[in-house]
Amino acid sequence: MIKCKLTKDAAVISVSPALYPIDAIYGASYVFIDRAYIFLDGDEKKNINIYIKSKKKSSSSALRSLVGEFQNELLNYSFRDKINKSNRKVREGIIERALAVFGPQEILNEQDSGDYLKDPLGIAIPWEEKHAKPKAK
Amino acid sequence: MHTLGNFRFKKINSDYLLTNDVGEYAFIPPQDFNNLASGCLNDISLKETAILEEKGFINLSAASLRLENKYRSKNSFLGMGTSLHIIVSTLRCDHKCVYCHASAQGSEGKATDMDRQTAKAVVDCIFESPSKAITIEFQGGEPLLNFEILKFVTEYAHDKNKAAGKDLLIAVVTNLSPLNDEILKFLIKNKISICTSIDGPHNLHNKNRFSFCGDSHAKVVKSFKRLQKAYLNRIKYRPNALVTITRESLRYPKEIIKEYIKLNLDSIHLRPLNPFGFAIKQQKTIGYTADEFLSFYRKSLDYILKINSKGKVFYERTARIFLSKIFNDDDPGYFELRSPCGAGIGQMAYNYNGDVYTCDEGRMVGRLGDDAFRLGNVREDNYNALIGKEALKAVCTSSLLDILPGCSNCVYKPYCGVCPIYNYVTSGTLFAQAPNNDRCKINTGILDYLFDKLRVDKNKKIFKAWLLAHHGSKTV
Amino acid sequence: MLSLKLNKSLYHLAAIKKAIKAYAHLADISLIKLKNYYLVKFNSVDTQIKVVLKDEFCNYMLALGKGPR
């Protein structure tokens, strides 16, 4: 359930994170940051309070409308979150198999041929130089 | 027992539009959408169930092989190498267009002409690209003012290609003002693709595009017709034209389209202004909001659809690109609407002095003193070195829609793209603050329009005919 | 002096630090770690932006990527 309290120029929406995941709250908030100031508080596990303040001076009906839109967007993002979670593995599998043919290209091998001259692993340094004990003076 | 598949969604009028990673789409009525959202998948109508399953919107595993193949096909451009190479052979120009984003300078003095040595190094670099298809596109300034280098590059590239065996296309973007018999003969002999700028009827065109050589519109139309006649039945790349929309243009959607039809063109590309180069300073006088452009665009497309419904095939190019991404299995190769975008990996821009940039937009930013997108110089860096530069990686990364908030969940993600350099110029960061920037608003508005129109069979038929109208080659 | 209490479970330190860096030219900003909150203090704030500074700062953290984490 979404509880909503309206003041003169701001609103507070209280939601249960069990029903509206935190990622959905972030997602919906992101969509509104051009039109409103959003502030979050509360307990991530029990109840999250979303403070919404319109950037422009607006009437109470305009504020209600903004809050209504936000609540709809919250529902949208919650559904998106559900879709993503239920399909993630299959989707990742499809993409992995689809792109597997585009493996390392010749161009990367040619880049490596340039890098070896810098000898990042010190392979070209003779063993004696690396490990020989200094001669006694 | 059905399971929830993968899709993004948006309400359009009364119904819901669903799309997925491979660009499949479906409209479903609110009741069926509510059933999807509430998990009552078995309550969805049988007719809808079959369509949804075929596209992977439900029972994703059942469609996974088909989707995998389609995903592979749509992303086959990955790893192909840079195919479009833009050579800015001179900054000289005999026009002073109000929106010039190329930051051109006057036509005298050759200090900003590419010389032969640089041109040779550029072509050598181009042929190091592993791409099997190479397009060398001359831009400027006005490239025909440095005809000597255009000639040299064309001949040298064809010579190198005898051994390389690539699918080579030479293209020129020109105002056609310097066109003469010698140049025309050369263009025909070498089958060079030509694109010019025609902004509409006489007064509108001349208001946007001032020429130091007299009446710009009269000259370009005369030269364009001459080219069309010379190319007819000899060269497969028909001469083309582009229009740039300014504030003044917004008043004349039908007149601009009629001008293109009068010139026997079968398409028009209604491009909004770009915030690059000298155009930045002119924004207040010639600029407009996204909403204003969209209003103009919708009027234009309505008129174009009316023309098509009377039997003439005439299309708008942005719409056609989007429709290609909606209906076809391959990518149309339009770098600005791709994820990742074409910066470096799809195109490179070579300035007159041999400096190489991620793209032409990056070069324009460089022209104003900011070399953030400069990859190197052809005299010092080979292709492999250029591809490995941090600037290129940064631009590519920041154009990947999957990691961009706003874009990653957008219903239009499979069809869209961002320009990190646009973001950099307009907001100081490579990463888009979509859906709040004008570019996003315009793309969203156009796609809203197209999908709404697609719901009517008559329009769908017209749109599909657009996709068949001269297939394939990447014209300028 | 302006201050902002940011819930630790909703606003993460990395995002707050990024925002502080981005807004450093507008105020002297300090950060204090409390038990369940981060306290952000804004000193020497220009009067012209005082009204919106905290709000814009919060929005900035949200804009960092669909989640201040």
| B278-306 residues labelled b (16+ CB within 10 A) or e (exposed) | bbbebeeebbbebeebbebbbebbebbbe
**pLDDT the model gives residue C66:** 47
pLDDT digits (tens, 9 = 90+) for A94-111: 888 877 766 554 444 444
CB atoms within 10 A of CB A23: 17
Residue B437: both structure tokens together = 């920037």
Over 80: is that where the pLDDT of A54 sits?
A: yes
Within B269-390, strands assigned E span 270-271, 315-316, 347-350, 355-357, 374-377
How close B57 gets to chain C, by Cα (Å)?
25
Q: Which whole number is the average pLDDT over B262-274?
A: 94
The whole-number pLDDT of residue B167 equals 96
**Which contiguous run of DSSP H or E holds residue C41?**
strand C37-43
Q: Name the DSSP class of B415.
A: G
Per DSSP, the residues of B79-123 read: TS---EEEEE-B-B-SEEETT-SS--B-SS-STTBPPHHHHHHHH
Using an 8 Å CB-CB cutoff, list chain B residues near A102. Answer: 75-76, 78-79
Task: Print the domain residue range for B36.
Answer: 8-74
> What number is the average pLDDT over the span B445-471?
92
The pLDDT tens digits of the residues spanning B333-354 come to 899 899 999 999 999 999 999 9
Start-to-end Cα distance in chain C = 27
Q: 3-class secondary structure for B161-214?
A: HHHHCCEEEEEEECCCCCCCHHHHHHHHHCCCEEEEECCCCHHHHHHHEEECCC
- Chain A contact for B64 (CB, 8 A cutoff): yes
| Cβ–Cβ under 8 Å, residues B394 and B388 | no
Euclidean distance between CA atoms A21 and A6, whole angstroms: 23
Tokens of A65: 């409308």
What share of chain A has pLDDT > 70, as a percent?
72
Average pLDDT over residues B125-134: 96
User: What's the mean pLDDT when you consider all of chain B?
Assistant: 91
pLDDT at B6: 87
Q: What is the pLDDT of residue B138?
A: 98
Rounded CA-CA distance B279/B287 in Å is 9
Look at residue A135 and tell me whether its pLDDT is greater than 60.
Answer: no
Among the CATH numbers 1.10.8, 3.30.70, 3.40.720, 3.20.20, which is that of C2-63? Answer: 3.30.70
Any chain A CB within 8 A of the CB of B435?
A: yes
pLDDT in tens, B104-119: 566 677 889 999 999 9
Q: What percent of chain B has pLDDT over 70?
A: 95
**Higher per-residue confidence, B100 vs C43:** C43
Q: Does A99 touch chain B (CB under 8 A)?
A: yes
Q: How far is CA A29 from CA A48, A77, C42, in A?
A: 13, 10, 24
* Alpha carbons B97 and B173: distance in angstroms, whole number: 15
Sign of the dihedral defined by the CA atoms of residues A81, A85, A87, A90, in that order: positive
B233 located within any domain = no
Q: Does residue C67 carry a pLDDT above 70?
A: no
Q: What is the tens place of the pLDDT at every residue in B432-445?
A: 776 678 999 999 99
Burial of B208-247, coded b for 16+ CB within 10 Å and e otherwise, reads: bbebeeeebbebbbebbeebeeebeeebebbbbbbbbbbb
Contacts of C37 in chain A (CB under 8 A): none
pLDDT, average across residues B158-176 = 97
In the predicted structure, residue B157 carries a pLDDT above the cut 80: yes
Per-residue model confidence as pLDDT tens digits over B293-309: 999 999 999 999 999 99
Over range A79-84, report the average pLDDT.
88
Average pLDDT, integer, range B357-380: 94
Query: Does the CB of B433 have a partner CB in chain C at under 8 Å?
Result: yes
The fold adopted by the segment(s) A3-88 is: Alpha-Beta Plaits (3.30.70)
In a domain, B28, yes or no: yes
Highest mean pLDDT among A127-136, B222-231, B421-430 belongs to B222-231
pLDDT of residue B474: 40
Q: Over chain C, what is the mean pLDDT?
A: 89
- Relative to beta strand A47-54, strand B315-316 is unpaired
Which percentage of chain B shows pLDDT scores above 90? 71
Is the model more confident about B13 or about B251? Answer: B251
Q: How would residue B101 be classed by pLDDT, with cut points 50, 70 and 90?
A: low
Nearest CA in chain C to B434: C63
Sequence spans of domains, chain A: 3-88
Tell me how far CA of residue B361 lies from CA of B38, B281, B334, B347, B458, in angstroms: 46, 16, 14, 11, 38
CB of C34 less than 8 A from some CB of A: no
Longest Cα–Cα distance of chain C, Å, equals 33
pLDDT for the residue A132: 45
**Model confidence at B216: pLDDT above 80:** yes
pLDDT at residue A124, rounded to an integer = 56
Q: How far apart are CA A52 and CA A40, in angstroms?
A: 9
pLDDT at A6: 86
Position B472 scores a pLDDT of 43
Confidence of residue A1 (pLDDT cuts 50, 70, 90): low
Count of A-B CB contacts under 8 Å: 69
Question: Chains near B, with 3+ CB pairs < 8 A?
Answer: A, C
> CA torsion sign, B196 to B197 to B203 to B207?
negative
Q: Please tell me the distance in Å from C54's CA to the nearest CA on chain B.
A: 20
pLDDT digits (tens, 9 = 90+) for B53-69: 999 999 888 888 889 99
Residue B158 lies in a domain: no
Domain assignments of chain C as residue spans, ordered by start: 2-63
ipTM confidence score: 0.90
Q: Is the Cβ–Cβ distance between B303 and B253 less than 8 Å?
A: yes
